[in-house]
Amino acid sequence: MNKILVDPLGHIVVLTDEASYHAALGHGALVGFGVIEETVQNPDAIYRSARSPTRIVYVRYNLIETVNTKLIVEAVADTSGTPYHIVTAYVTDKLHGVEGDPIYVRS
């Protein structure tokens, strides 16, 4: 079932079953624990995507921890329509595909 989320800037963001399935296939740690939802609703920062002018990247630091490693969760949303739609999400050890200064930083 699709999930309707609201980001801190007031944008409605849809996490579809398809996007959840995609994340589960390649990034199983993200599914079932509300990690994608938490990243969109309570990001540490939001950036413009370096890969596409119609995408933004929600970033959450240290939401997932492994032995001796704190990881970053990135959820990428397509902003070409309303509402926005999550197209992918992944776990990484450094920022990927972001451009410039953040458009939002949690205070």
Please provide residue 13's backbone torsions phi and psi, each rounded to the nearest 5 degrees: -130, 125
CA–CA gap between residue 76 and residue 78 (Å, rounded): 7
pLDDT tens track of the chain, all 107 residues? 899 999 999 999 999 988 887 777 765 555 556 888 999 999 999 999 999 999 999 999 877 666 666 678 889 999 999 999 999 888 888 898 899 999 999 99
- pTM higher than 0.85: yes
Strands lying side by side in the sheet with 45-49: 3-6, 12-15, 84-92, 69-78, 55-66, 45-49, 98-105
